[in-house]
Amino acid sequence: MSADEIHTEYNLQAEGGILSSCLLEPARIDEVRTIVGTAESFYSASNRWVYQALVSLVDDGKSVGTAEVAEWLNSRGALRTVGGTPYIAQLAFTQPAADLEEQARVVRDRYRIRRAKALMSEALAKIVAGGVEQDVQKYLELLEGGIASLSQGVDARELRRVVEALDAAYTAIQEASARGDALTGTSTGYARIDKATGGLQGSDLVIVAGRPGSGKTAFAINMAARVAGRGDGVAFFSLEQPNMQLGQRLLSLDGKVDLSKFRSPRFLSPDEWRRLADSLAVLRPLPLWIDDTAAITVSAMRSRIRRLKTQIAAGRAGVQTNGLKVVVVDYIQLCDVPDGNKSREQQVAEVSRGLKMIAKTENLCVLALSQLNRGVESRAGKDRRPQLSDLRESGAIEQDADVVMFVYRDEMYNPESEDRGVAEIIIGKQRQGPTGTRKLRFTGEYGRFDDLADDDYYTEFDDVADN
């Protein structure tokens, strides 16, 4: 075995075998490309040029051979760089790869090793040059993002026949039926919302939006508690409120104790103290994890989510759970973006795309909160119910989201409203389900959302909800 075969950063024999196979069988070039990707994957500069020539000729619909490759390189002033026509002829007579896919994976993996080392060296150099301790975390997050992009790069996957998608969909429905579930996703804890959405679906980005004071954070906390109460894991990233305040809100909604009394506990009655103690016993075992890091980046979230999933799988999460199913982010506009030179709209769009990628790659429902712009307040007439166009700072949120829900309480704008104590959950977008409105009971002093009793759920409104 030659030295380059066992070198961790490159394998020239594999590179030569791949190029030889492609010269002899041009039809296999696309097969190689699905695995190695761009020419950058090749260690040898000469091999990078030859590979680029092969791919370009195929893309242009031209014939492929040693003469055509030599002509392509010569027209770009690169023929002498690669060693002239003798080098191309040498490749043509090199032993073709016995297992082309395997050798392509070898080349791809060697490139990943080289790139990972380069990323670590770059990050270390920046840390040393910066000399500022608080910058270390940012550099590490940039490094992790680069490494993650390598692991999600090109692969030997191919287009798959529709039968696989159909079988997977049918199996999921069968399994849900066998479990006695009416849902294919994770229950929100609210019957009418579950009926409309089928629950919180893995790989979906669900946006919950509303104006300040509408109750969107409270709604997210209620759903998180209800999901966790069924044994499904929830990771809650709170960029606005500290850990303790979320704990107070959980105790308030579960124990039905006025949240304002937490500032002056001497006003708590013996019965309220008892209810708080009971709630503490109920809430402590829940598979609910909170991260209150301010201005956290999407890459840092991804890292912590993966670490938590690993701990759960290894039985080291400290609590029994059916697995991590939902991630809550409160809220999108507070997420940090490493490149501060981008416009605010570009930053929000990057966060939105990043959260959608987390949902898809980790097979989780990401429930992200979003602010609305001030246009809601200035809208002519009395109807200030939010619309998709009211999403703040970026149309990318609407584009990336699978589901968009708005929280609206009419009493915020109309003190004499007949719907005092009622919140409307407006489903403004849903890729695979109906839109419309569902009503919930809202108890402000507890920050608590509950299903309305059938008698309180107006028939004329229910007709609208099913549209």
- Per-residue pLDDT at 22: 87
User: 4: exposed, middle or buried (C-beta count within 10 Å: 0-12, 13-18, 19+)?
Assistant: middle
In a domain, 173, yes or no: no
- Per-residue pLDDT at 156: 45
- Boundaries of domain holding 7: 1-158
Which parts of the chain register pLDDT below 70?
1-7, 126-166, 169-170, 172-173, 176-182, 339-341, 380-382, 392-394, 454-467
Asked whether the beta carbons of 198 and 433 are under 8 A apart, the reply is yes
Q: Which residues pair with 157 in a beta bridge?
A: none
Q: What end-to-end distance do the CA atoms of the chain give, in Å?
A: 69
On whether both 124 and 252 belong to a single domain, the answer is no
Q: Which residues pair with 290 in a beta bridge?
A: 236
**Total domain count for the chain?**
2
The rounded distance, in Å, linking the Cα atoms of 129 and 122 is 10
CATH number at residue 6: 1.10.860.10
In a domain, 288, yes or no: yes
The rounded distance, in Å, linking the Cα atoms of 22 and 92 is 9
In a domain, 132, yes or no: yes
CATH number at residue 232: 3.40.50.300
In a domain, 404, yes or no: yes
- Per-residue pLDDT at 180: 61
On whether both 143 and 97 belong to a single domain, the answer is yes
- Per-residue pLDDT at 346: 80
On whether both 266 and 127 belong to a single domain, the answer is no
- Per-residue pLDDT at 224: 93
On whether both 189 and 79 belong to a single domain, the answer is no
On whether both 223 and 369 belong to a single domain, the answer is yes
On whether both 139 and 230 belong to a single domain, the answer is no
In a domain, 72, yes or no: yes
On whether both 277 and 219 belong to a single domain, the answer is yes
In a domain, 170, yes or no: no
Asked whether the beta carbons of 344 and 393 are under 8 A apart, the reply is yes
- Domain end position, chosen among 158, 192, 216: 158
- Per-residue pLDDT at 383: 74
On whether both 27 and 111 belong to a single domain, the answer is yes
On whether both 310 and 242 belong to a single domain, the answer is yes
On whether both 412 and 303 belong to a single domain, the answer is yes
The rounded distance, in Å, linking the Cα atoms of 196 and 436 is 9
In a domain, 166, yes or no: no
In a domain, 56, yes or no: yes
- Domain end position, chosen among 158, 173, 205: 158
On whether both 211 and 137 belong to a single domain, the answer is no
- Per-residue pLDDT at 158: 56
On whether both 233 and 347 belong to a single domain, the answer is yes
